[in-house]
Amino acid sequence: MQRPFDSNSIVNSLCALVVSLALNSSAGEASADVSPQLQAMQRLMTEMVRRLEEQQKKIDTQDRTIAALKGEENVVRSSDADTILHKLPEVKAAQSNGPASPYDLPGITITGDPVRKIAENYDPEKIGAYGQPLWTTRRRFSETRAYVIPEGDFEFEYWNVTEKPQHGPTVSEQKYEVEIGLGNRFQLDIYALSHSQGNNKGFLFDEHDVELRYAFADWDVIPGNPTAYAEYKFLNGQPDHVEFKALFSGDAKPCWPKLQWAANLVYETQMGAKRESNYEVTGGVSYQLHPKFAIGGEAKIELDDEHGKRLHFTTPQVLIGPSFQYNAFNKLHVDFSPLIGLTKSSPEFKSLVIVGWKF
């Protein structure tokens, strides 16, 4: 077994040799008597150099180990956690023998479980303070809402909604919406709308809405990610409306990670006149064909009644159709949903085009 590198003993030996040489020189002894001491000094110097080189190699190894550990987080974030896990046995082996000399750094204890846990739970699509997937940070469905946008997000949307009823002129709606992520899983939306019929086109706002959402937990903490939704509608010349929704959404991981879904339960009531009420169930599914393109479908069922005839519903309206989304780049998305009516009280078709810009 190799002795620990003792610098004090080597320094003392060198000092003794120097003193000895000085005494011999002053006494006038022959150089032949000094040669054994010079040889001994040479051996000591050679041994010192060799041990210093070994020590430098060990320090270099530990420097590389520390650098690898400091870079561990960046490797995990680049989805290369297997590299770290592969290197862990080498790191452990480099530290397992303990310090070989007084100049060795202290040993480092490393366990693979925390690193493996980070690697297994890391999802590059989860973003924001709520750990939500990227698809929930912008509107994916036209008739169905999902969760809340991240804290600090700000988005503007323009809607063009065209509805052709069974009888009468086509109704056109222009909607301008601002979405604000308030934090603490709250979201505020503000709308301005204008409506027109047939050839009577106009851009005067005849409705203003204010909406507030609250998600009960971070993403995937509660199954279905339930979110409460309340909206107040200010209508010009008509009684105001109040609308409440229960929002549910999620994805099909781990089986189909690119498949997303959302569903809403909706209740809306008129604040005056006949106090008409609407009861809706909406739903949508979407599949991410490409990071920039998603395709899916939506459906909506609506029942109506009025004060004095509660739960005596008219013929339900049923709409169904495909939905498409194109993400031109990170800030811009375009949605298109052409829906058709399946009952006599449903519109013949309803087309929704949404253009959103995220600031």
pLDDT band at 71, cuts 50/70/90? low
For the ranges 27-41, 56-70, 277-291, the one whose mean pLDDT is highest = 277-291
Task: Examine the domain organization and report whether 221 and 257 are in the same domain.
Answer: yes
In a domain, 258, yes or no: yes
At residue 352, does pLDDT exceed 80? yes
Task: Examine the domain organization and report whether 24 and 150 are in the same domain.
Answer: no
At residue 65, does pLDDT exceed 80? no
Of 101, 121, 141, the last residue of a domain is 121
In a domain, 1, yes or no: no
Taking only the tens place, the pLDDT of each residue in 178-218 is: 999 999 999 999 999 999 887 766 678 899 999 999 999 99
Q: Is the pLDDT higher at 109 or at 314?
A: 314
DSSP strand pairing (349-358 vs 332-341): antiparallel
In a domain, 77, yes or no: yes
Rounded to a whole number, what is the largest CA-CA distance in the chain? 132
How far, in Å, CA of 338 to CA of 319, rounded? 10
Task: Examine the domain organization and report whether 196 and 330 are in the same domain.
Answer: yes
In a domain, 273, yes or no: yes
Task: Examine the domain organization and report whether 327 and 282 are in the same domain.
Answer: yes
Taking only the tens place, the pLDDT of each residue in 267-307 is: 999 998 888 999 999 999 999 999 899 999 999 999 999 88
Task: Specify the CATH number for the domain of residue 326.
Answer: 2.40.160.40
pLDDT band at 68, cuts 50/70/90? confident
At residue 103, does pLDDT exceed 60? no
Q: Is the pLDDT higher at 267 or at 7?
A: 267
Single-letter residue type at 199: N
Q: What is the pLDDT of residue 337?
A: 97
Strand extents, DSSP E, 134-220 = 154-164, 171-183, 186-197, 207-215
Q: What is the pLDDT of residue 82?
A: 52
Task: Examine the domain organization and report whether 75 and 110 are in the same domain.
Answer: yes
Task: Examine the domain organization and report whether 113 and 147 are in the same domain.
Answer: no
Taking only the tens place, the pLDDT of each residue in 115-140 is: 444 334 445 578 899 999 999 999 99
Task: Examine the domain organization and report whether 130 and 277 are in the same domain.
Answer: yes
In a domain, 64, yes or no: yes
How far, in Å, CA of 302 to CA of 319, rounded? 9
Task: Examine the domain organization and report whether 99 and 178 are in the same domain.
Answer: no
Number of other residues whose CB lies within 10 A of the CB of residue 227: 23
Task: Examine the domain organization and report whether 111 and 138 are in the same domain.
Answer: no
Task: Examine the domain organization and report whether 152 and 243 are in the same domain.
Answer: yes
In a domain, 2, yes or no: no
Q: What is the mean pLDDT of residues 136-150?
A: 95
| Structural domain that includes position 258 | 126-358
Of 76, 103, 121, the last residue of a domain is 121
The pTM of the full predicted model, rounded to 2 decimals, is 0.66
Of 102, 121, 140, the last residue of a domain is 121
At residue 46, does pLDDT exceed 80? no
Q: What is the mean pLDDT of residues 30-55?
A: 70
Q: What is the pLDDT of residue 248?
A: 98
In a domain, 288, yes or no: yes
Domain count along the chain: 2
Task: Examine the domain organization and report whether 82 and 207 are in the same domain.
Answer: no
Please tell me whether residue 229 adopts helix, strand or coil conformation.
strand
At residue 101, does pLDDT exceed 90? no
Q: What is the pLDDT of residue 274?
A: 84
pLDDT band at 21, cuts 50/70/90? low
Q: What is the mean pLDDT of residues 308-328?
A: 90
In a domain, 153, yes or no: yes
CA 143 vs CA 44, 238, 336: distances in Å: 86, 23, 11
Q: What is the pLDDT of residue 29?
A: 45
Taking only the tens place, the pLDDT of each residue in 218-273 is: 999 999 999 999 999 999 988 999 999 999 999 988 888 899 999 999 999 999 88
Token pair recorded at residue 66: 């520390």
Mean pLDDT of the chain: 81
Task: Examine the domain organization and report whether 213 and 329 are in the same domain.
Answer: yes
